[in-house]
Chain A
């Protein structure tokens, strides 16, 4: 069995409805050990860590299966890949026993400057080639498939010569990566650009979707902003229902970062995923719908 097949086989431990682990909740989680099937760790918060951070990380990983989610790799940048960062990610994957690692189809670093945001790429042939090659380099280095996440966006470039769905699905096919489908990002971008979110879903290679993010957005003037600061927004739940009506369920989770509620409140939100995963089954084959 190859490394990549081995990783895919062990990933069956990640199923059902999980949660994004947030530091203010850790004490509660370790003292009560709630029945959560898995947690997603924000990789960048747990890198280079000693002392309390390392101790808490170990305590969580001894009790729960985890996956890693990064924001610092800047996959789509034209600056060179940061191999020191990737080495640290590789160590973190080993130390945490993470079942997979995900990153974004975006760039954050340019000409040595790093911004704390996920900037969109133009949808061009050059960007497809560039992003696919970088993903393959990362996958080779980590010896496991990467999950690529679609980002929310507020701008579109005149340079783009295809839609986001075509761009994203082509990158997935060319690089052989898997997909972390963020339905909140998808809805926010679709709203901001006046396009159809379901059209993006139609273009995705269905079997490549391994994880789903759900979150809340906020409205600012005429735009939706990906704030992760509230309950999952209703149109995002609707999009999730649409996904479940067509595809087999994959691990899904709530991302909540700002205005973070207590753990119990967050877990109630997670229960909605559990209910939907139990009650909504694919009723039509993807090709009949799309």
Chain B
């Protein structure tokens, strides 16, 4: 047998693990007669590990989908091998996968709930907020020391422990009790629902917020200055809410332009 480099050996093993064709194994595993069975141990370990991670990340989707969750999750895992070591954040693709799956399912298949992709997006946002680093506490005295002109030129930085979501569905009710959907025959809201996903102290939660607040917080996340914020017709009515957002920890710090 010709000598293979370490890189070639690793490439062939991964190819054999992910392309399970018993007749075309490349990894030169011995003894050859049990190579396929032995590789299957790794395939199974990897799949189960990712599946367990998705169960942990999307517990409400598991409740909503029942046994179908595993079937769908396994399909998604096959297409989404992680590019990071941190399994706590595996699953960023899952809401999009559910959305495509719902659209592409055959007519005979029992349809997935319409809200499932948005629910998954909210669960993933909760996960990210839960694991986000602690941010600083906004320093009011530093802000007060600035001249009025300098205050107008600063940008307010939102905490990494917060995310903003919008959906046609009442996600906070669904996250609290997924049976709410079946019991209340929920309908899509044309106006939409707006949410702040946030970790306060120890727990991440989803709070429904007014559309105006959502737009104003989005503007801050896009880096508008305080002067722009208080002049723009879309955001100026939210100036009064800034103090409340700061005290809730949604605004972490300020940055000069």
B35 at the A/B interface (Cβ < 8 Å)? Answer: yes
* Cα distance, A221 to B203, chains bound together (Å): 43
Total contacting residues, chain B, CB less than 8 A: 48
CB of B132 within 8 A of CB of A50, answer: yes
CB of A114 within 8 A of CB of B84, answer: yes
CB of B38 within 8 A of CB of A112, answer: no
B39 at the A/B interface (Cβ < 8 Å)? Answer: yes
B 112-126 to A, binary, CB cutoff 8 A, 1 in contact else 0: 000000000000000
CB of A113 within 8 A of CB of B82, answer: yes
One of B59-67, B85-93, B176-184 contacting the partner = B85-93
Contact among A55, A121, A157 with B30 in the assembled complex (CB-CB below 8 Å)? A157
Given contacts A51-B130, A119-B42, A225-B41, contact A72 B49 (CB under 8 A): no
CB of A124 within 8 A of CB of B6, answer: yes
CB of B81 within 8 A of CB of A115, answer: yes
Which residues of A have CB within 8 Å of B256? none
CB of B134 within 8 A of CB of A117, answer: no
CB of B85 within 8 A of CB of A82, answer: yes
A9 at the A/B interface (Cβ < 8 Å)? Answer: no
One of B10-18, B143-151, B215-223, B230-238 contacting the partner = B10-18
CB of A53 within 8 A of CB of B4, answer: no
Given contacts A47-B86, A48-B133, A116-B46, contact A157 B161 (CB under 8 A): no
Q: How far is the CB of B253 from chain A (nearest CB, A)?
A: 15
* Cα distance, A142 to B38, chains bound together (Å): 36
B 189-205 to A, binary, CB cutoff 8 A, 1 in contact else 0: 00000000001011110
B72 at the A/B interface (Cβ < 8 Å)? Answer: no
* Cα distance, A74 to B199, chains bound together (Å): 32
CB of A110 within 8 A of CB of B14, answer: yes
CB of B85 within 8 A of CB of A157, answer: no
Given contacts A116-B82, A124-B6, contact A111 B42 (CB under 8 A): no
Given contacts A45-B88, A85-B85, A155-B29, contact A110 B11 (CB under 8 A): yes
Q: How far is the CB of B146 from chain A (nearest CB, A)?
A: 28
* Cα distance, A47 to B86, chains bound together (Å): 8
CB of B11 within 8 A of CB of A154, answer: no
* Cα distance, A158 to B37, chains bound together (Å): 16
A-B contact pairs, 16 of them (CB 8 A): A48-B133, A50-B135, A51-B132, A52-B203, A108-B85, A115-B82, A116-B50, A116-B53, A116-B82, A124-B6, A127-B6, A154-B39, A154-B41, A157-B9, A159-B4, A220-B41
Residues in chain B within 8 A of chain A (CB atoms): 1, 3-7, 9-11, 13-14, 17, 27-30, 34-35, 37-39, 41-42, 45-46, 49-50, 53, 81-88, 130-135, 161, 199, 201-204
Residues in chain A within 8 A of chain B (CB atoms): 44-45, 47-55, 71-74, 77-78, 82, 85, 107-117, 119, 121-122, 124, 126-127, 130, 154-159, 192, 220-223, 225
CB of B1 within 8 A of CB of A223, answer: no
Given contacts A50-B161, A111-B14, A159-B3, contact A116 B49 (CB under 8 A): yes
CB of B10 within 8 A of CB of A113, answer: no
Nearest A residue to B90, CB-CB: A116
Which residues of B have CB within 8 Å of A157? 9, 27-30
Q: How far is the CB of A189 from chain B (nearest CB, A)?
A: 12
CB of B28 within 8 A of CB of A223, answer: no
Given contacts A111-B11, A158-B1, contact A130 B6 (CB under 8 A): yes
Which residues of A have CB within 8 Å of B35? 155
Q: How far is the CB of A77 from chain B (nearest CB, A)?
A: 7
* Cα distance, A55 to B201, chains bound together (Å): 10
CB of B6 within 8 A of CB of A78, answer: yes
Most buried by A among B17, B131, B203, B204: B131
Which residues of A have CB within 8 Å of B27? 155, 157
Which residues of A have CB within 8 Å of B14? 110-111, 113, 115, 119
Contact among B3, B6, B85 with A114 in the assembled complex (CB-CB below 8 Å)? B85
Q: How far is the CB of A128 from chain B (nearest CB, A)?
A: 10
Which residues of A have CB within 8 Å of B6? 78, 121-122, 124, 126-127, 130
Given contacts A154-B38, A156-B30, contact A117 B45 (CB under 8 A): yes
CB of A223 within 8 A of CB of B38, answer: yes
CB of B42 within 8 A of CB of A117, answer: yes
CB of A77 within 8 A of CB of B10, answer: yes
Which residues of B have CB within 8 Å of A117? 42, 45-46, 49
Contact among A44, A127, A155 with B87 in the assembled complex (CB-CB below 8 Å)? A44
CB of A122 within 8 A of CB of B9, answer: yes
Contact among A55, A73, A126, A192 with B5 in the assembled complex (CB-CB below 8 Å)? A126
Which residues of B have CB within 8 Å of A158? 1, 28-30
CB of A155 within 8 A of CB of B39, answer: yes
